A and B are shown apart, each in its own frame.
Chain A
C-alpha cells in the first residue's frame, strides 16, 4: 500500500512569479524510506509543507495514509509527524516543558504526556539536559528534540526536512542512528536532503528533484550506477606513474585514468574502502610513495552533472513564458 501519494503538485509563490513545484509526482510505499534529494531551492521544503498540510498546492492531488491533504487536513495531522528544516521548539522552555506541552496538544492526559516526554528524552539521549532551556542546547540536541516532538503520537508517516543540515559530522552520525532506529520500528519516512551520502545511508528509494520536478528516481545503487559510483584517486611522488598505474589496475581490476601532469591516477571501484587498503598494501610492498590517497564518492553535484549535464542552479524568477536562471552561490 502507498502511504504517501503526490500527483502533479503545482505550487507557486508570489502570485505565480516563483514556481516552486512544477507538476511533481511521487509516492512512498508503506514502511519504507523515500529520500527526496535536491539542491537549494529545488522545492524540497515546499513539497514537505504541502504534504504536511501547512501549504495548499495551486493544483494537484495528494494523500497521506490514504487521507486527502486538502479535503481533510485535520485527519492527516492526526497521523503524521513533522520535523521542519529548522528546529521549531520553544527556546525559553526546557526540553521537558516542550515535550509535555506538545503531548498535551496531541490530547494525551497530563500523566501520559509526562511519561511520553520521559521516554522520548531517554530515547534521544537528552535525559541529562531535560531541564535545561533549549537556548542552551547545541544544534544537534535541538534537532533531536525537534524530532522527538514530532514522534509523540508515534506517527504512521514521518516527514523530515533536511534533518542533518547544519550539524557537525558527529551530530550527523547521531541523527542517522536515531533515524535508523525509527525506520527499524516500521515508520514510513519521507526525508529530504542535499547529501547523496545521506540518502544512500537511510533510504530505500531516492527521488532527485530540481526546479520542482522529478529528474530521476531509483534505488541508491541504480542512481550510483548511473553516476559512476566510487573512485579511488591517488597522487604519487614519482614522475613516472606507470608502475603505480599497473599496480592499481592489477588490484582493482579497473581501467585507470591518469593525469600525467598532476601525477594523479583515478580508478572506479566497487568496494571502496577494502580496495583502498589493498592498494596501500601493494604500494607499500613495491616501495611506491603516495602523496595523496582518497576515496571519492559521487556527490550531489556529480549526480546533477550526469543527470542534467549541468551543475545544480537556482531558479530565480519564472515569468510567464520565460525562465531566468541564476547560478547558485
Chain B
C-alpha cells in the first residue's frame, strides 16, 4: 500500500516538473503532430487503392512509433536522476524499492495519454477515420498505451545501467529506429526480401501496428507470414510480447535499482 503511495509521489514530481518547465510538454506533443503532418502529406499519395486513403494505415504506424519512443524518454529521465545523484537520495529514504521506477513508468504513461489524444485529433483533422466503433477504438488506444508502458520498463533498465543521460537516449534510438522501420508501420512488408519479411512481421512493433489497425477497423496485409500467428492473432501476439518485455525488465530493473549508484 505504502509502495503505491510512494510511487505516486514520484509520479506527481514528474507532473510538477512539467508545470515548471512547460516546454517539455509542448515539444513532446508537437513532435508527433509534426510526424502526422509530414507522413500524411509526404507519403499520403502512396497507398493508392486503399479505402479511405493511405492515412488509415499510416496513423497506427505513427501511434506505435511514438509510444515506442517512450523507451528513450524513460531511459533518459532515469539516467538524469542517476547523474544528479537523486537516485542516491531516494535510495537513502525508507521507501519501497520499487517506488522510484514504478513512479517514473506511470508518469511517462500519463504523458503518453496526452500525446495519444493530441495525435488522434491531429490524425482526425488530416482525414484519419477509424471505422470500428467507440469500444474498439478505446481498446486500440489502451493497447498502445500499454505497449508504451511495457517499453518504459526496458527504458528503466537502460537508464539504470547507463550513467549518461544523453548517451542512453541515443543508444535507445539506435534500437527503436530499426525496429520501427523494419516493420509494417510505414510500408507494407510484402515488398521486402523474404527473410526480412519474417523478421518484420514477427517484430513486436509490427504486431502492435497490425493489432492497432485491426482495432481501428482496417486490415493489415501480410506477406510470407500470411497464415502465421502474428497475422492471425496480432492482438494476442502483441499482448504476449508486452507481458514478456515486462516479465524480463521489471525484475531486472528492481534488482538493479537495489544496488544502483550514481558513480
Contact = CB atoms under 8 A, between A and B. Distances in A.
A87 B84 CA distance: 8
A73 to B, nearest CB: 9
A126 to B, nearest CB: 17
Contacts of A104: 9
A77 B261 contact: no
Contact of B94 (A54, A91, A106): A106
Contacts of B85: 84, 86-88
Nearest to A79: B94
Interface stretch (B13-21, B64-72, B209-217, B241-249): B13-21
A77 B94 contact: yes
Contacts of B20: 92-94, 97, 133
Contacts of B108: none
Contacts of A106: 93-94
A55 B93 CA distance: 14
Interface in B210-263: 259, 261
A200 interface: no
Contacts of B93: 77, 102, 105-106
Contacts, number: 69
A133 B19 CA distance: 12
Given A78-B94, A90-B17, A92-B20, A54 B88 contact: yes
A105 B84 contact: no
A53 B92 contact: yes
Interface in B77-98: 84-86, 88-95
B104 to A, nearest CB: 13
A92 B92 contact: no
A: interface residue count bin: 20 to 34
B17 A93 contact: yes
B257 to A, nearest CB: 12
A77 B261 CA distance: 16
A49 B87 CA distance: 13
A84 B87 CA distance: 11
A105 B95 contact: yes
A107 B89 CA distance: 15
Given A55-B261, A93-B17, A88 B94 contact: no
Main secondary structure, interface of A, reads: loop
A54 B91 contact: yes
11 contacts: A49-B88, A74-B94, A77-B94, A86-B85, A88-B88, A88-B89, A90-B13, A92-B21, A105-B9, A106-B93, A106-B94
Main secondary structure, interface of B, reads: helix
Contacts of A133: 20
B: interface residue count bin: 20 to 34
Contacts of A94: 20
Which 10 A-B pairs have CB atoms at the shortest separation, nearest pair first? A88-B85, A77-B94, A88-B89, A78-B94, A82-B92, A92-B17, A104-B9, A105-B93, A86-B85, A88-B86
A89 interface: yes
Contact of B6 (A54, A80, A105): A105
Nearest to A88: B85
Contacts of B191: none
A192 interface: no
Nearest to B97: A74
A56 interface: yes
Given A77-B94, A88-B89, A94-B20, 5 more contacts: A56-B259, A86-B85, A97-B16, A101-B12, A149-B89
Interface string A55-97: 1100000000000000000100110101010111111111001
A220 interface: no
B42 to A, nearest CB: 35
A82 B9 CA distance: 20
Interface string A171-205: 00000000000000000000000000000000000
Given A92-B20, A106-B93, A84 B84 contact: no
Contacts of A91: 84
Contact of B89 (A82, A92, A97): A82
A84 B88 contact: yes
